[in-house]
Amino acid sequence: MSLKPFRDYPGWEGTGLPTKNTCDLTNPRQRFLWIFTALPGVVGAPLPLPTEYWEHVSYHMVECGLRLGGNQIKKYQPPQGSLLNRWTAAGKWVPLDEPDPDAKTLADVVDDMSHADKIALKEIVLDKMGLREAHPGAPDGHLQVTDLAHRVGINPDRLLVVLTDFGLNLTTDSYVPIATAERLITHLGL
């Protein structure tokens, strides 16, 4: 069997850690890549070197004649409640017939957090998703027109014209429901 050069095969583009389900087993760069996740004796970092290094090792193994085909007797079980991060996600190899635990939802992860972490998460979500009310007097679920204009990067007077097109006759001191703001952002293509 003749192989194309390494660079002619696409690299792994998954997120987190390579697993059997996220690797293309027909691609020599990825055929054995998933096997290097959580190697025995590696503690604290299940993929301590860059993924590209392990792609080279996988390709080398294919060049040396190794093939998949034996009966797999164990599988990698990712950790529960954390992202598959090559530096911190421990996970483990377990017998193939061991049932996988139920996947945790984001709600489950939040339920397991301390109260202080929940407060910190709330602050991050409010800031990163633009849900924090800029004016303390704004009703819940509303933004002042000037704040919305600032967030979408247009002049408040231009925003008032667009809002009028939406059938809303407002002033810069008026409040807009966040749902309306989201429709407006979609309408403007932002």
- 3-state SS, one letter per residue, for the chain: CCCCCHHHCCCCCCCCCCCHHHCCCCCCCCCCHHHHCCCCCCCCCCCCCCHHHHHHHHHHHHHCCCCCCCCCCEEEECCCCCCCCCCCCCCEEEECCCCCCCCCCHHHHHHCCCHHHHHHHHHHHHHHCCCCCCCCCCCCCEEEHHHHHHHHCCCHHHHHHHHHHCCCCCCCCCEEEHHHHHHHHHHHCC
How high is the pLDDT of residue 71?
Answer: 86
How high is the pLDDT of residue 29?
Answer: 97
Tokens of 163: 């809002």
pTM of the model: 0.53
How high is the pLDDT of residue 34?
Answer: 94
> Do residues 175 and 142 lie in contact, with contact meaning Cβ atoms separated by under 8 Å?
yes
Tell me how many degrees the CA angle 160-184-138 measures, rounded to the nearest 5: 70
How high is the pLDDT of residue 81?
Answer: 58
Taking only Cα atoms into account, the Rg of the chain, rounded to an integer number of angstroms, comes to: 25
How high is the pLDDT of residue 54?
Answer: 96
Tokens of 114: 């301390």
How high is the pLDDT of residue 190?
Answer: 59
Per-run averaged pLDDT (10 residues), the chain, 190 residues:
90 89 95 92 80 96 91 83 59 88 80 83 76 63 82 83 82 83 72
How high is the pLDDT of residue 87?
Answer: 60
φ, ψ (nearest 5 deg) of residue 127 = -70, -50
φ, ψ (nearest 5 deg) of residue 102 = -60, 135
Amino acid at 99: P
* Domain spans in the chain, listed from the N-terminal domain onward: 1-99, 113-188
User: What sign does the CA torsion over 62, 66, 69, 75 have?
Assistant: negative
How high is the pLDDT of residue 173?
Answer: 85
